[in-house]
Structure 1
């Protein structure tokens, strides 16, 4: 089994190949120096993601002693290769199209089974998107391609890597925390998270808003955010600073506080970040607290004559509840390019993920950090993507003849929309999340191994999808090996995707789907959860399968009820069940 990470990776026992591609970068920027001109990992991202997908069993994995245990990737016996296509950023660009496509071409040539792509950019037309083009050609060759959804949340319409042949992955939390408490002088106690190696336990220190440590030439806003050069050492020395999340990196805020002489930092979430708190390896005693608790801490320091506080040592806590919930940074749908299909497809753990790291960088990935670690805790959809890649590897091993779309269907239709206390998945602000955050739901690997039924698609189905988008022959030629004649007429309504999306529904509409049996014989019954103000009818209401490979087609009719005209998106679901398997598809409707 091969796993491909489209960034970089450190060499280790399982890494059977490592290549690099930078001709596109060199043509635009110039040649790299010899220290960069290699497949070696210089910043940790590739080592972390590749080991998450296919790393072997490693006992004693930890970050400064936190989270100690045996690490393994999703497919721990996989053979992996690395294809480095991204380089030091220039003008905001670090992954050039020519290099990305060269990486895909070589991976296809090398005969890989899975490609894990923890990179992306702003959403764009598919014929201009090198990851979409490269991944299409991979899928044509039977290779499953998994992509990160992006880290531009929580705003709607920010999801990237939106091609239907890709598995697009959002990020959510897990049931492990690294709690560190902020104790105020008035005995109020707030739980944050941190991987700081130092703390300020049991001794009170002065605590102030970072805005009150403003340098003379800095704005109050920049000081509150603890931006470089915004803090006055005379005001910050010996104090705990309360910095607001946003703009610059969380770990950079701690560094700026330390440079100004602060003894510690409380990092308080802004409103958009809500309850999403992240355990970072800060360079000084620090604790990251949520938005509501941050408001209480700011109120204390701003209305107390001599505010004091201390910060406890972090600990490791497992089995926390409720979990998971969606990360605030995880990019959301609807897709601004192809709103006709739901994106992201799935969510997986992407917050405070511990995996292998490079010794070429410190754990904060900042130049000031001289510490070195073998494992690091990192957050992002780059981290959730390889979780799915590892699961795909297991599915490819179990079912080597399955198509990429069948594997994708198995992962999506067996996902859950509940957390570990059986409540609906929420966003970082503790409101009920929607499929625009999590797609079909949070992945359930064991259930994905036995989905019962799958929705299958072929490369020609994907070309027909491009036809339905109105792409011309020149644009379609980016994907097709030979001239492709579009069917006439063509509609997206019957595109056999594992989710159902209907735009501008006026009155009623009917779509067709086909299920393929990949399990034991049985009879499946349809169960519908109607979107608000929408009636959903399935015909037939039961499907009987007698053997593996048998296909059955059904129709789904959706009708707008009287009170729902002009409303925003509404969500429901369709589940086919034989009592053992539950094949669930999200329904997304926007009434006209």
Structure 2
């Protein structure tokens, strides 16, 4: 914090600061006001290895948790530790990229186990964009600098990317519904980095899972021509709320219309969403047995051409899946075709109240386009 450093110990030094509590740029201001000439910001354990750029007020560098430990150990073991901060220019074609930022919003959803969250990931680290000259790039009062552009990171930086892509898709396809736009974005996303490997999670350094990246990283060009989309109506959402055990009063409060849940026979995983999340509740006591769950979906063609799509899949570990039919033929734009995903799995040994989730996917392709949906299968042990 500002005023917390001893100027006698700080003057002329580069200070190692840990991330957290105080804004990163404000840490630099604290170092500068105490006479420091530079700063190294080290991630803490929960921050992982991901670093984000800031408009610092003095020469500074951000490093991940493991590098921070090395610097910390060096400071405490070297007789006379020294440091040099140097700028090597903007780095392009960094590999691997993209990776899931450590601050990225994670699932599962606290509201519903029957939707994989997040839907999608998008660029959110080091985003350069227009900036108001009414405040400094750090938004700190002692910072008198003004600039037309700034560089920020956060989920709030991903949001305008997705919003802009949705607007472009609506301009290109004025007849598309919000559900169709979301479907196009989700089913055309990619899950491999520029090394051809599974996306990595900055927070762990390991493979990212669907609770971190959802359907994958957004790909606007492919989203413009998805071939097929998963459409949704108001009734679909109402049926989803009914099957999710919302009361009719709850639903009427949300929809502002009367509803009769006794007429609904669907399951919550039957919502025609571009991803599939299945929850298998195991009664107590359960240590064995096989459970079968059938998921219903409907695809709509958005192309003015005949097309044939073939199904493929990757089964979640411990789950057997069958897609029926595994071939869909469309002869016109707007035509709908239904299919089901039959799943079966043995009971999983879990403690009361515990859950276990495994991921897979289903995919439809006509040879040029791919319509991919992640599948989450969750075992939940009842109390």
Q: TM-score w.r.t. structure 2 length?
A: 0.91
Q: Give, in angstroms, the shift of residue 476 of structure 1.
A: 2.5
Where structure 1 has 5 or more consecutive residues not aligned to the other structure, the ranges are 1-226
**Contact preservation (8 Å) 1:517, 1:549:** yes
The correspondence for 2:90, drawn from 316, 323, 327, is 316
Match of 1:399? 173
Instruction: Write out the 4+ residue segments of structure 1 that deviate beyond 6 Å after TM superposition.
Output: none
User: Does the C-alpha gap of structure 1 residues 277 and 350 become closer, same or farther in structure 2, counting only changes over 3 Å?
Assistant: same
CA distance in 2, matches of 1:497, 1:424: 23
Match of 1:448? 223
SS at match of 1:349: coil
Match of 1:253? 27
Say if 2:343 is the partner of 1:579.
no
Spell out, residue by residue over 1:66-124, the C-alpha distance to the aligned partner (whole angstroms, 9 max, x if none).
xxxxxxxxxxxxxxxxxxxxxxxxxxxxxxxxxxxxxxxxxxxxxxxxxxxxxxxxxxx
SS at match of 1:272: helix
Where structure 2 has 5 or more consecutive residues not aligned to the other structure, the ranges are 283-290
Aligned length: 365
Q: Give, in angstroms, the shift of residue 481 of structure 1.
A: 3.8
Q: Give, in angstroms, the shift of residue 490 of structure 1.
A: 4.5
CA distance in 1, matches of 2:265, 2:343: 22
The correspondence for 1:332, drawn from 103, 106, 117, is 106
**Contact preservation (8 Å) 1:535, 1:561:** no
Counterpart mapping for 1:7-406 below 5 A: 227-313=1-87, 315-406=89-180
Match of 1:492? 268
CA distance in 2, matches of 1:505, 1:280: 46
Q: Give, in angstroms, the shift of residue 283 of structure 1.
A: 0.3
**Contact preservation (8 Å) 2:243, 2:264:** no
Match of 1:553? 338
User: Does the C-alpha gap of structure 1 residues 248 and 471 become closer, same or farther in structure 2, counting only changes over 3 Å?
Assistant: same
Q: Give, in angstroms, the shift of residue 505 of structure 1.
A: 5.6
Match of 1:421? 195
**Contact preservation (8 Å) 1:565, 1:591:** no
CA distance in 1, matches of 2:46, 2:83: 26
User: Does the C-alpha gap of structure 1 residues 471 and 591 become closer, same or farther in structure 2, counting only changes over 3 Å?
Assistant: closer
User: Does the C-alpha gap of structure 1 residues 510 and 434 become closer, same or farther in structure 2, counting only changes over 3 Å?
Assistant: same
SS at match of 1:393: helix
- Quote the RMSD (CA, aligned, Å): 1.6
Spell out, residue by residue over 1:216-267, the C-alpha distance to the aligned partner (whole angstroms, 9 max, x if none).
xxxxxxxxxxx33432111111100001112221111111111221110001
User: Does the C-alpha gap of structure 1 residues 470 and 228 become closer, same or farther in structure 2, counting only changes over 3 Å?
Assistant: farther
Q: Give, in angstroms, the shift of residue 390 of structure 1.
A: 1.0
Match of 1:503? 279
**Contact preservation (8 Å) 1:267, 1:286:** yes
**Contact preservation (8 Å) 1:560, 1:591:** no
